[in-house]
Structure formats: structure tokens, C-alpha cells
Amino acid sequence: MRFLLVEDNAELADAVVQRLGLDGHAVDHAATLAGAEDCLAVAEYDLILLDVMLPDGDGRDFLARKRDHLETPVIVLTARSQISDRVGALDQGADDYITKPFDFSELEARCRAVLRRRGGVARNEIPLGQAIFEPNAGTLTCGDETLELRNREIRLLEVFARNPGQILSKSQLLDRLFSQDADVTENAIEVYVGRLRKKLDGAGVRIETVRGLGYRMSA
């Protein structure tokens, strides 16, 4: 999954980027609302983490302006603990909020919950043919066999699982797995797709190559 973090505290931003990166997420960081605008102009995101007080404005006002045409889920990061502040953020379009200072395990859990709701999934389990995919645990279970997935494999399989039947180009998949400053090529996608194909063998679903266009997961 690819996240956009809008946060002007460099130390906190670096910690969040590193922590979410350990889970295999690609995180782009913007320190201002203008920077966030630039990121949104060139990339698609699965989730936005948005600070309230930023050097060039209020994150909530930014969200209110964007919400009519921005479908990406947003978690507001706020140091304000008043109920009115939290209610206001939700009314202006936030999908969730978290109060600073926060525990990283809570942030990760809230990210997972928002992404599940967006995908119409109530639990962590995602059925894939005859297999059960659990992104949180990083496992793929088919019958009595449970396979462990690496972080990038988890995130790539999430993208396919949440877009069944849709053709996804290598460029789109690259955008979902790696941040803007990552030095990777489309060959990396071929490697990860190859690994997933082996692990999905016998699951009743497959990742097929659509020549000249990309990949598609189908039953």
C-alpha cells in the first residue's frame, strides 16, 4: 500500500515513515499542504495521514476543500483531544483520527481498519479462491498448508485482492509498493509477481499476464 504522510515535525515524520516501511508500505512525506498538493498531482494513494496544524494552513480546511473529489481515506493526526475537535475533523471528511502522542501499534491498527472498511472487508481475512489471505498476519492458507509471506508480497497481494479482475500495469503496481524516492525498476514487480504465483499455486486463483498491459488476478 502507498501512503501519503503530511506532517511538519521532521522527527515524527521520519519515525512514521520508517515504522510503516517495516510493514512493507511505501510512504511519501510532505511537510506542507503545498507539498501534499504536489504529491497528489502525480501519484495515487491508498491512505493519507494528515496533520492538523501545518506551516501553510489547517489540514482540516485542506481536507474539506478536497473531499468532494478525493476518494482516498484520510486519518487526521491531531494534538487536540477535545471532543469538538475530533468531531469537527470527522464532519469535514476524515475517516478516522488519532491523537498525538500516539503509539505506533495503534496507528498501524487504525490504518488497517480504515483500509478494511474501504475494501468492504469486516475482518482481516480475505478469501482468495480456495485460500484465505490474512494481511495482518502475513499468511496465505490453503487447506492444511499455511505459507508465510514477505512484506512486499503481502502488499502486492493486497493490491490484487482489492482489485479483482482489474488489469494493473507494472507502473501502477510500482507506485503502490514503493515511495517516490525509491530506486527500483519494473523488474522488481516481475520478481514479486513470480513469487506470488508460486505461493498461489493450487489456491484456485492466479495472476495472469495481460500482454502489453500488465497483470490481472482471476479465478
Same domain, residue pair 21 and 107: yes
Domain that holds residue 94: 2-118
Residues 20, 93, single domain; the answer is yes
* 88 and 189 co-located in one domain: no
Instruction: Name the residue with higher pLDDT: 28 or 137.
Output: 28
| pLDDT, tens only, 169-185 | 999 999 888 888 788 89
Q: Are residues 209 and 159 in the same domain?
A: yes
d(CA 203, CA 128): 7
Kindly state whether residues 109 and 40 are assigned to the same domain. Answer: yes
Domain end: 84, 118, 152, which one?
118
12 and 96 share one domain? yes
Residues 155 and 25 sit within 8 Å (Cβ to Cβ): yes
Q: Are residues 44 and 70 in the same domain?
A: yes
Are residues 131 and 178 both part of a single domain?
yes
Residues 30 and 108 reside in one and the same domain: yes
Cα–Cα distance measured from residue 217 to residue 215, given in angstroms and rounded to the nearest whole number: 7
Residues 102 and 199 occupy one common structural domain: no
Burial class (CB in 10 A: 0-12, 13-18, 19+), 151: middle
Position 37 scores a pLDDT of 96
CATH number of the domain within which 164 lies: 1.10.10.10
Q: Where is the domain boundary, 118, 145, 167?
A: 118
pLDDT digits (tens, 9 = 90+) for 29-86: 999 999 999 999 999 899 999 999 999 999 999 999 988 888 899 999 988 777 777 7
Is the per-residue pLDDT at 121 higher than 60?
no
Structural domains in the chain (count): 2
151 pLDDT above the threshold of 70: yes
Instruction: Tell me the C-alpha to C-alpha distance, in Å, between residue 126 and each of 111, 133, 157.
Output: 16, 5, 10
pTM of the predicted protein model: 0.77
- CATH code of 114's domain: 3.40.50.2300
Instruction: Say yes or no: 131 and 214 in one domain.
Output: yes
**Domain boundary pick from 69, 94, 118:** 118
Q: In the chain, what is the greatest distance between 2 CA atoms, to the nearest angstrom? A: 55
CA torsion sign for 171, 173, 176, 181 is: negative
CA 44 vs CA 48, 71, 181: distances in Å: 10, 10, 15
131 and 211 housed in the same domain: yes
